[in-house]
Amino acid sequence: MTQGSAPAAAETRRKVHMQLLVNGEAQEVAFLPHKTLLEVLREDMQLTGTKHGCELGECGTCTVLMDGEPMLSCLVLGIECDGVEIETVEGMATGAGPHPLQTWFADLGAAQCGYCTPGFLMTAKSILERDPNPSREDLVEELSGNLCRCTGYLKIYEAIEAAAKDMREGSQ
C-alpha cells in the first residue's frame, strides 16, 4: 500500500514538543507530528469535549475555534497550530458560569444526544461574535457545515437566537 518512500519510523515516531494556546492557557504538549489537532486535543491533552464523526471534513462534529474562526480539527495538524489561539467547548464557560449559548442549548433542548453539540456551540459562538443579531437565514447558512441527526436543527436555532438576545441585552 505504500506509495512513495515513507519516512523512517524512527523519524516519524519522534514526538514534537510544542506550546499550544488552548482555552486561554499556554500548555506544553508532546505529540507525534502527523497527529491532527483533534487527536492532540483528545489524546494528548485529554480534552475529549471535542468529538469526531468522520475525521474527513464531512460532518462538522470536530469544529473548534482557531483565532476565533471555526475550523475542522480533524483536518489541521497539531504542528500547524503554533501561535494560534485554540478554543474548545471546555473553554466556553467563564469560571463556573456557563456561556449563554450553553445555558440556552441546555434549556431549550438543543442538545439531544449531545454528540454534535460541542461543534455547534463553537460555530454558534463565532456567529454571534461576528453578528450579535443573526437572522434565521444567517443561521441556516452558517450552521450548514454541522450535521445533527437528532434535532432537525430547529431547537438549535431557537437556542442561538435566545442566547443572542440575552447577550445583546446583557451588553447594553
- Footprint of another protein on residues 48-107 (CB under 8 A)? 48-61, 63, 69-72, 74-77, 79-80, 88-90, 92-93, 98, 101-103, 105-107
Closer to another protein at the Cβ: 83 or 172?
Answer: 83
Q: Angle CA(47)–CA(48)–CA(49) in degrees, nearest 5?
A: 95
Measured between alpha carbons, how far is residue 44 from residues 25, 52, 73, 79, 156 in Å? 15, 15, 14, 13, 31
Pairing relationship of beta strands 85-87 and 63-66 according to DSSP bridges: antiparallel
Cell 431557537, residue located: 158
Interaction of residue 161 with another protein, rule CB under 8 A:
no
What is the nearest approach in angstroms of another protein to the Cβ of residue 45?
A: 12
Interaction of residue 147 with another protein, rule CB under 8 A:
yes
* Interface residue with another protein, options 20, 22, 121, 160 (CB under 8 A): 121
